[in-house]
Amino acid sequence: MAQVSAGLLLYRVRQGTPEVLLVHPGGPFFRKKDEGAWTIPKGEVAAGEDLLDAAKREFQEETGVAPSGPFLALAPIKQKSGKTVHAWAVEGDLDATAIRSNTFTMEWPPKSGRQAEFPEVDRAEWFDLETAKKKVIPAQAALIVELEQLPARSD
- Look at residue 85 and tell me if it is in a domain: yes
For the beta carbon of residue 2, count every other beta carbon within 10 angstroms: 8
- Look at residue 60 and tell me if it is in a domain: yes
Q: Residue 151: pLDDT band by 50, 70, 90 thresholds?
A: confident
- Look at residue 112 and tell me if it is in a domain: yes
Which pLDDT belongs to residue 2? 65
- Look at residue 154 and tell me if it is in a domain: no
Q: Residue 154: is its pLDDT beyond 70?
A: no
Which pLDDT belongs to residue 155? 41
- Helix ranges, the chain (H): 51-63, 129-135, 141-149
Residue pLDDT, tens place only, 94-134: 999 999 999 999 999 899 999 999 999 999 999 999 999 99
- Cα separations in angstroms, 89 against 26, 72, 74: 23, 5, 7
Q: Residue 12: is its pLDDT beyond 60?
A: yes
Which pLDDT belongs to residue 69? 84
CATH of the domain at 65: 3.90.79.10
Residue pLDDT, tens place only, 75-96: 999 999 899 999 999 999 999 9
- Look at residue 15 and tell me if it is in a domain: yes
- Look at residue 155 and tell me if it is in a domain: no
Q: Are 78 and 87 in contact (CB under 8 A)?
A: no
- Domain count for the chain: 1
Which pLDDT belongs to residue 1? 52
- Look at residue 131 and tell me if it is in a domain: yes
Which pLDDT belongs to residue 152? 63
Domain boundaries, position 27: 4-149
Residue pLDDT, tens place only, 47-71: 999 999 999 999 999 999 999 989 9
Which pLDDT belongs to residue 87? 98
Give the H/E segment covering residue 78: strand 77-78
- Look at residue 130 and tell me if it is in a domain: yes
